[in-house]
Structure 1
Amino acid sequence: MDGFSLTALRDALLSGVLNWGGRILTAAAIVLCGVFVRKLLRLGVQRLTRLPGQRAQEAIRRHRALQTLLLHSVDAVVWFIIVVAAISALGVNVASILTVAGVGGIAIGLGAQSIVTDVLAGVLILLEEQYVVGDTVTLAGFTGAVERMSLRSTALRSFAGDLHVVPNGEIRNVTNHTRSFHRALVDLSVDYAEPLDRVQRVLEQTLAACFPGMEGLTAAPELLGVVDLADSGVVLRVCAECAPGEHWAVERKLRRLIKDAFDREGIVLSIPQRMVHLAPDARQTPDA
């Protein structure tokens, strides 16, 4: 009886050791494989987000922020899978753990929905490089220079000096005023009594003298011609291609040069006029 008990106990212990030993080895193998996969994924993220050549400091900071976010996301997902798989290999029922994690994730997601939306929008802005610090943009109805960017928000400094902080999740449309090139547009309204041939000749001579020479221009200004017959005068339009962010300064300079040229040539700019017809007094008789 004693021998049987010892043999049974020995067999039970051996079976338990083998069973738990196998589970522990399986869990350890899962952890090792997970760590290896994590390293491969991190190397892949670093390779994909590597900056080619010389880049501006702001671009480097922006890509580092994006790279850090991606690396942390990879770590969180991989470690969650490793822990769940290792616990399952040890024989623990992970269904309840996944249920609790799912409920907690939903609660956190609902509570921080706006933050998640802002961060995801910030990631897309960084990936697509819609704008960078220093660009002049219009976001959510605000126009100004981008002073700083983060995954959560974008700060704009308006021309009046106001600082507008716009959550990235509220950005639906982006108008970038400082990419590639810009066009300066100047509309001029001259009196109807002025001969158009003479006006156009003076304008063409004035514009031809601007390029090269005027700072900000990348091509010679062009007279597009008559664009409107307004109530007070004939509207002509001048178009000039200029460097990014220089169109406002170029427009001011062109208006000044054209005004001086018109003054020298005696060309009259139109002014708003209203013609009033006076009706005869109804109380007066025709013979009066």
Structure 2
Amino acid sequence: MEITAPDCAAQAGSLCQWVWDNTGADVLARNSDAFASAAIHIVLIVVIALVVRFLLYRAINRLTRLSIRDDASTALRPFQAGARLALGGGLNADRRAQRTQAVGSLLKSITSFVVICVAAVLILAELGFDIAPILTSAGIAGVALAFGAQNLVRDFLAGISMTLEDQYGVGDTVDLGSASGTVVAVSLRTTTLRAGDGTIWHVRNGEVLRVGNSSQGHAVVTVPVTIPYDADTDRAATIALQQAQGVAQSPEFEAAMVAEPTLLGITGVAPGTITLGIQATVLAGEKDGFLRAVRSAVRTAFERARQEDPSADFRPPVLLAGPGDDAAGRA
């Protein structure tokens, strides 16, 4: 049976004629123009997708740099302010850099996913597939996934919100309701905490209903000073306040002070003792260090005052301990 040339092969210089002359394949020759057109369109789709992805990545990188750097031009300062508000406003430089990197990585992942999905659908359309059933099936699969893995989806959405809002970060001391401790790792699905006793807790982000972060912003430090009931309260308060003010003005804590130490007066009365209170406001990360430094300074000052004047004994009485209990320590 003789195979006749397709009509398109009669067109001199056409792709159909070239394919027919070189292969003799009727089907391939007749569909060569459609194949070439689809191939060109697919290449264009891939190139455009790569260009769009590159431009979006570049914009994200630019946005993250603007949120950290202070040397933006005058024309870009309003945009820089908006970037800082969205990606880390009000944070110190190191914390802002960590947060912007995390948010930038998240935005890049979302961008790649969207661009690849759109490009894949367009390529399938160019190959002749009916994308309507595909989109419908994807919608149904999405609904089924949402119902079947709603807890997982909720965890991821909560993780994204926590990252964008910077509710806490690695190294922060937090109370998540179900667990508390120092944040060891933060992912989009779970948060890992190390409790004071060393226990590692893995908390699902979707289960976190409240967050108490004691490592952000300012912290109010109250230093209790316990003295004997019959001691010179005014003198003890004066010495304790002077020591607290000295610690606050020291090079170690001067930059961390938000509000200078003040005397609260008598904050507690117990059998044989009186408790004085000294309060100061410091950066959250310096709270424990400042508290320890003030306690040490007050104790040293009290010991020095007792050596100079034996009547100035500000040591609280030792309480008798019950069976199995340790004796009460001295202030």
TM-score class, shorter = 0.5 to 0.7
Residues 141 and 249 (structure 1), Cα distance of their counterparts in 2 relative to 1, 3 Å cut: farther
Residues 209 and 75 (structure 1), Cα distance of their counterparts in 2 relative to 1, 3 Å cut: closer
Contact 2:236 2:314 in 1 (8 A): no
Q: Which moved more, 1:58-67 or 1:198-207?
A: 58-67
Name the counterpart of 1:112: 149
Residues 16 and 230 (structure 1), Cα distance of their counterparts in 2 relative to 1, 3 Å cut: same
Shift of 1:223: 0.7
Name the counterpart of 1:42: 57
Name the counterpart of 2:163: 126
Percentage of matched positions with identical amino acids: 29
How far, CA to CA, are the matches of 2:240 and 2:117 in structure 1? Answer: 70
Contact 1:189 1:269 in 2 (8 A): yes
Which amino acid is 1:224 matched to?
A: L
1:179 aligns with 2:213: no
Match of 2:233 among 199, 203, 209: 199
Contact 2:8 2:30 in 1 (8 A): no
Name the counterpart of 2:180: 143
Residues 255 and 63 (structure 1), Cα distance of their counterparts in 2 relative to 1, 3 Å cut: closer
The answer to which structure, 1 or 2, has the higher relative contact order (CA under 8 A, 6+ apart) is 1
Residues 7 and 118 (structure 1), Cα distance of their counterparts in 2 relative to 1, 3 Å cut: closer
Provide, for residues 3-32 of structure 1, a one-character-per-residue CA deviation record: whole Å limited to 9, x for no partner: xx9769979999865566555544543443
How well do the aligned residues superpose, as a CA RMSD in angstroms? 4.5
Which amino acid is 2:134 matched to?
A: I
Gap runs ≥5 in structure 1? 271-288
Gap runs ≥5 in structure 2? 12-25, 70-91, 318-331
How far, CA to CA, are the matches of 2:277 and 2:110 in structure 1? Answer: 53
How far, CA to CA, are the matches of 2:260 and 2:113 in structure 1? Answer: 56
How far, CA to CA, are the matches of 1:149 and 1:161 in structure 2? Answer: 18
The structure where helix makes up a greater share of residues is 2
Residues 241 and 15 (structure 1), Cα distance of their counterparts in 2 relative to 1, 3 Å cut: same
* TM-score normalised per structure 2: 0.60
1:209 aligns with 2:243: yes
Match of 1:52 among 51, 64, 68: 68
Shift of 1:96: 0.6
Name the counterpart of 2:279: 239
How far, CA to CA, are the matches of 2:34 and 2:47 in structure 1? Answer: 20
How far, CA to CA, are the matches of 2:222 and 2:117 in structure 1? Answer: 57
1:157 aligns with 2:173: no
Shift of 1:90: 4.7
May I ask how many residue pairs the two structures share in their alignment?
264
